[in-house]
Amino acid sequence: MYVSGPSVLWFSSLPRQLLIAPVGMGWLLPLLPINQTAASVASALFIVCCCTGLIGLCSRTSSLLVVLLGFFVLGIPQFYGKVDHFHHFLWFAGILAASRAGDALSIDAGIAAWKQAKGGLLYALRPARVYALPLRFVWLLMGIIYLFPGLWKVWHCGFAWALSDNIKFQMYTKWLETSGWSPLFRLDHFPILYKLGGLLTIGFEISFIFLVLFKKLRPVAAILGFGFHEATDLFMGISFIGLFVFYLTFIDWASLFQFLGRKLFREPMYVLYDGNCTICKTTIGAVKAFDIFGRIVYLNVLDRDALGRHNLGWLDEAALMTDMHAVVKTRVFRGFASYRALAARIPLLWLVLPFLWVWPVPRVGGMIYRRVADHRSCEFPPPSPRGPENAHSMVPVVAVGTMLIAINVWFGVRGLISGWPFACYPTFSWIQGPEQTTLEIAGVTAAGATVPLGLADATVRFTPVKFWWLVRQILWWSKDEQQRASRLGAFWQVLVRMDPSYGNFKTVRFYEATLSTVPEEWARNPVRRSLIYEMHVRPAADRPEVTSVSPSYGAGTLNERRAP
């Protein structure tokens, strides 16, 4: 789920009486500075760190700050009743902070390549466990996200979860929650199909974590996951794009780019440079760090044996020492033209490539190249002792990944879905019937007129589900009547702030309404309704004051209720 900056700032302005601690955060929540100033500063820093992490500038530090700032910024909307499940963004950022994600296709990689080139080595990454291990932890965490919802379905309902009419009524409930939306293809009219879909859902959720352990079965896991998310989006309106996007980690990008490189450039290009020239070495080193197609061979002109092995001995030795060359079969590019030919095979430079052909860029570029080439300096430094992948321990990745798995397994075993930044993801592990219970709120004016609250307009920042979770938490999880009255008063002030016309009510009534989820019966909703709470306020447009509350269920009964 995407949380915008304005949304975070809006939630940070809510009264502290409405704060409801997620699982495990009861001790920490009172200490957090949840206010608009802190949220504004933290949000700005969070966005900056996301951007620097995206381009690979101080990759590990940026990822670590994303975790710390994201815990606060993304967490603020989770502290008001309902927890939305995009925790994995923080988990995966934590793995990036412990890994060497900045060793490829990043500003960090370019800087490292530049430094290594000065030492006489061209930047080269080889397949290594230090790069593979973070991906394994990402896949295992994705498996845990699916595993426990699948296990809880079987534990609570057995295969009746799939083989009864449960799937049909689960779909009906989601359609009702989304203001009467329904898919183009009415799967609910085909019992065999939706029951088969239920079985496949359980099978997918439980098997995913085992499939990703084996290289040959990972494509199966990815295909099943793609089908699962597409089906839930198509038939239930649940996209979960925030998790689905991480299926990109199953793609072998190096092999894919090399395949594309062979298709786009059938003949390799040989780039020949002066290995004693500092400018030549650092330029070639930085470019090579972004050579994803692998269709360029970089050769030091001083290495005559290498030239011979690639059948390039026919090139003029004096010209090679004067200018950089790019060679494709028998076609030779020299000087500025060689850089232009080189740019055509580096996707990062494709944005500027067209301008390298537009007058006066070729003329000016040629003049600059000539001046730099004629005044370049040479040096003979000792080569660097090792490449980037050999200088890193896997201990941080193992430690962070193991910790994330252990904590999430604990939450999953206990079925705790209302935690932050760890939680069991929604299980849907119940048999849904044809009816759904919700809340309705109505205001009574001084003249005695009853007016249903237009919550579609009032809940601009609250999603409807998040709104109702907060109300339910206030009514059913407040520890005593005094706390419940305080929270209701703060809640009512927020609604009046969003819609000042609510300040004219003298009484606010909360009803428990039972709705039919069957689309053909929506017109007769609510099926039944019962008053559960009544709140009396002193009408005032600026700051309404709660004068008394009357629990229709009785305080004891309310305290025994459980929010769904």
Report d(CA 290, CA 540) in Å as an integer.
Answer: 64
Residues in Cβ contact with 183 at an 8 Å cutoff, skipping those fewer than 6 apart: 234, 235, 237
Coil, helix or strand at residue 104:
coil
The predicted structure's pLDDT at residue 193: 96
Confidence grade of residue 411 (pLDDT, cut at 50, 70, 90)? very high
Confidence grade of residue 551 (pLDDT, cut at 50, 70, 90)? low
Report d(CA 84, CA 6) in Å as an integer.
Answer: 17
Coil, helix or strand at residue 167:
helix
Across 132-136, 287-291, 387-391, the highest mean pLDDT is recorded for 132-136
Q: Is pLDDT above 70 for 390?
A: no
**Closest-CA residue to 450 (of 460, 458, 440):** 440
**Closest-CA residue to 92 (of 418, 395, 401):** 401
Residue with tokens 């099943």: 224
Confidence grade of residue 241 (pLDDT, cut at 50, 70, 90)? confident
- Neighbour-count burial for 14-37, b at 16+ CB within 10 Å, e otherwise: beebbbbbbbbbeeebeeeebeee
Report d(CA 163, CA 157) in Å as an integer.
Answer: 10
The predicted structure's pLDDT at residue 297: 93
Residue-wise pLDDT tens digits, 444-501: 888 888 888 865 444 445 666 777 788 888 887 777 778 888 888 888 888 888 888 8
Length of the chain: 564
Are 118 and 282 in contact by the 8 Å Cβ rule? The answer is yes
Residue-wise pLDDT tens digits, 139-151: 999 999 999 999 9
Across 240-249, 273-282, 355-364, 415-424, the highest mean pLDDT is recorded for 415-424
Which tokens hold the place of 335? 């000087």
Report d(CA 21, CA 78) in Å as an integer.
Answer: 9
In this structure, the strands spanning 505-516 and 528-538 are antiparallel
Q: Is pLDDT above 80 for 387?
A: no
Residue with tokens 């935690």: 419
pTM of structure: 0.87
Mean pLDDT across the chain: 86
Which tokens hold the place of 416? 């705790």
What's the mean pLDDT in 193-220? 95
The predicted structure's pLDDT at residue 540: 57
Are 58 and 68 in contact by the 8 Å Cβ rule? The answer is no
Are 342 and 326 in contact by the 8 Å Cβ rule? The answer is yes
CA 131 to centroid of chain Cα atoms: 20
The predicted structure's pLDDT at residue 446: 83
The predicted structure's pLDDT at residue 350: 92
Coil, helix or strand at residue 309:
helix
**Closest-CA residue to 459 (of 478, 441, 483):** 441
CA 263 to centroid of chain Cα atoms: 32
The predicted structure's pLDDT at residue 519: 92
Coil, helix or strand at residue 451:
strand
The predicted structure's pLDDT at residue 268: 93
Q: Is pLDDT above 60 for 381?
A: no
Cβ-in-10-Å burial (0-12, 13-18, 19+) of 548 comes to: exposed
The predicted structure's pLDDT at residue 546: 59
In order, the DSSP letters of 417-455 are -SBSS--PPP---S---SEEEEEEEEEEETT--EEE--H
User: For the chain, which domains are there?
Assistant: 1-98 (no CATH), 158-251 (no CATH), 258-374 (3.40.30), 435-560 (no CATH)
Question: C-alpha angle with apex 166: 226 to 2, nearest 5 degrees?
Answer: 45
Are 17 and 257 in contact by the 8 Å Cβ rule? The answer is no
* Diameter over CA atoms, the chain: 101
The predicted structure's pLDDT at residue 532: 85
| CA distance from start to end of the chain | 20
